[in-house]
Amino acid sequence: MSERIPTLIVGGTGYVAGELLRLVAGHPQLDLHGVSSETAAGTAVNTAFPHLAPQLKAEGFITQADLAARMTAPRMALFAAAPHAVSAGVIATMLEAAAARQCQLTIVDVSSDFRFRDAADFQAVYKTPHGAPELLPLFSCALPEHVQGIPGPHIGHPGCFASSMLAGMVPMLKLGLCEPQVYATGITGSTGAGRTPTATTHHPERHSNLFAYNPLRHRHAPEVVQVCAQLTGVTPELNFVPHSGPFARGIHMTLQARLKAPQTSDQLRDQFASFYAGCEFVRVVDGLPRIKDVAGSNYCHIGVESSGSSVAVMVTIDNLIKGAAGGAVQWMNRLLGLPEAAGLDAPAPGWI
């Protein structure tokens, strides 16, 4: 296909939005048509992201109202990178504007607003009413590797920790390899906490440090449980302890569970490899995966080890790419009928 598809980005000054801008700027068929930021409207994009200046010399942030006014093409793409509990209302406004202009708008949301199927579940976790419950049936949430075809008109991306857990848990549960009790330990880079500094994301606190937070109470765990149940028919008991790591980007996730029947590491690895056969961005590796082998890329590496009676699955991804912007572009490619790997197949730098 040679068609260039006009593309919009909402919520443009965060780290994920910066990665979306970078990926769209280098995409062979997505054409940036506008990026909004209510706080930075009227300023140049390269003031927020100086590293993007060569690709986005003249681009400036605009308001959401101005962004909606740019829906002038018959078909457009929109990435929503607004904050959690804000994105749904913004998306509702954008869909109304698209309908008024007879624009077919395809949306991938990278917030948490469309990861649950029920507004009550969202409110129970995020302690605020859902901003557009009538839109929930229009969104599906899963990794693209776990769903064939197009599951619906729009996608709610699972997010970074969730992506790493789902990559390991869905094969384990769907193939019936393990008991439903899963123990997860995830270590994430500081970019996973967003651009605004806090007491635990400030560099002197993260540097040469490692600490857990929200053990067994992390808000993304219920999202993972729901997606696993929908995809596998098994509702896992997920015991998740997240950690803050002393690096900027990447996630290392370790999942442990009791095997239903004794199996060797090679047997389990072969089953994981068969499960992900044909998946461009997931690689089951010999040995143990490392963050530096995937950071800066849309690839996911998985390692599998067995004691005979229990299994440990190690997953590494880049939290900003495979766990957010890259996974969102991968979904958008499929929704628009483009090659799924378009704009995403660059390897990891290796020494990032």
Give Cα 231 distance to the centre of its chain.
Answer: 17
Strand partners, 131: none
* Selection from 325, 273, 255 nearest residue 296 by Cα: 325
Note the Cα 131 to chain centre separation in Å: 20
Catalytic residue among 160, 178, 228, 300: 160
Q: Is 160 a catalytic residue?
A: yes
Cα→Cα distances 79→23, 40, 183, 186, 194, Å: 12, 18, 32, 26, 17
Is 8 in contact with 35 (CB distance < 8 Å)? yes
The residues carrying an active-site annotation are 160
